[in-house]
Amino acid sequence: MSAPLIITIDGPAGVGKSTLARAVAETLCLPYLDTGAMFRTLALKLGAGAEECPAQSLCQQCAAWHFSLRGSGGSTVLLCNAVPVGQEVRTEAVGMLASRVAAVPAVRDCLKQAQRRLALSCSLVAEGRDMGTEIFPEAQYKFFLDARPEVRALRRQKELAAAGTTVPLAELTEQIRQRDTLDRTRALAPLRPAADAVLVDTSDKDIPAVLAEMLAVVRGRGL
Ligand code: DC
């Protein structure tokens, strides 16, 4: 049996990873793994006190949550204990909490095992911060997306506006900078490109252009 095909997509908050990972997965008919949603889900379950919790107790709590995937492409669903992970994890507050909880070794370790387990049974497109560096260093294709913080904040502002919420750009830019700092400077699995990742700056490109660039890399190497 040949090894599962793994495509990793890493990058900071608001760079378009989820949209692009879903689009790549849809084009190639592969399941899509949103590891940020896994951290967000655990952050919600564990609550704000998780950072102070003893490692052993955290491990026990994390072990009670089992992640699985259903479907593929754009219709992939991430399940936690057989329940689809929903919009409740998508707020800025949960994102910030996830970023803090993601620096806790016991939590990272638990999710590392869960993420690797998911790739044992199928090929997938995995999106996050450390997919190409820590979780799937053996991945056949690795991408690292980046964009200027102001551009990412503006995209987020438009998304929120479409959902009926108005948030000042300066506030969103500050939140993005804070989360970047937490994710890039933590001791364990910090956000950084893998040495063999293809770097794509999405600041001045739209989603179809970046998607075309990524698919050209994948197809250019024979998939
Ligand atoms: O991609 P996202 O914004 O949904 O991720 C939320 C937080 O989870 C992010 O700020 C850091 C953490 N995270 C991580 O540390 N490692 C990953 N592979 C994915 C997310």
User: In which band, very low, low, confident or very high, does the pLDDT at 50 lie, cut at 50, 70 and 90?
Assistant: confident
- Residue 70 in any domain: the answer is yes
pLDDT per residue over 152-162, tens digit each? 999 999 988 99
- Residue 176 predicted with pLDDT over 70: yes
Which amino acid residue places its CA nearest to atom 1 of ligand 1? 36
Ligand 1 center from residue 183 Cα (angstroms) = 8
Which amino acid residue places its CA nearest to atom 16 of ligand 1? 129
In one-letter notation, the amino acid at residue 23 is A
Give the CATH number for residue 80: 3.40.50.300
User: In which band, very low, low, confident or very high, does the pLDDT at 151 lie, cut at 50, 70 and 90?
Assistant: very high
Domain assignment of residue 181, given as a range: 6-211
Tokens representing residue 65 in the block: 């949550």
pLDDT of residue 49: 87
**Between helices 35-46 and 105-121, what is the axis angle to 10°?**
140
Which amino acid residue places its CA nearest to atom 12 of ligand 1? 99
pLDDT of residue 128: 97
Phi and psi at residue 19, to the nearest 5°: -60, -45
pLDDT per residue over 126-144, tens digit each? 999 999 999 999 999 999 9
Residue pair 127/32 in contact by the 8 Å Cβ criterion: yes
- Residues in CB range of 133: below 8 A, 6 or more apart: 10, 189, 192, 193, 194
Q: What is the mean pLDDT of residues 16-42?
A: 96
pLDDT of residue 1: 58
- Residue 137 in any domain: the answer is yes
pLDDT of residue 109: 95
Q: What is the mean pLDDT of residues 50-56?
A: 88
pLDDT per residue over 54-70, tens digit each? 989 999 999 999 999 99
pLDDT of residue 221: 78
Which amino acid residue places its CA nearest to atom 13 of ligand 1? 36
- Residue 202 in any domain: the answer is yes
pLDDT per residue over 79-118, tens digit each? 999 999 999 999 889 999 999 999 999 999 999 999 999 9
Could you identify the residue written with the tokens 């491990």? 59
Q: What's the structural domain count of the chain?
A: 1
Q: What is the mean pLDDT of residues 167-191?
A: 94
- Residue 44 in any domain: the answer is yes
Q: What is the mean pLDDT of residues 34-60?
A: 92
Furthest CA-CA distance within the chain:
52
- Residue 216 in any domain: the answer is no
- Residue 1 in any domain: the answer is no
Average pLDDT of the chain is: 94
Q: Which of 1-5, 48-52, 82-86 has the lowest mean pLDDT?
A: 1-5
Whole-number Å distance between alpha carbons of 72 and 31: 4
pLDDT of residue 51: 86
Tokens representing residue 50 in the block: 């998780």
If one residue of 35, 78, 112, 192 were mutated to test the ligand 1 pocket, choosing by the most ligand atoms within 8 A of its CB, it would be 35
- Residue 219 in any domain: the answer is no
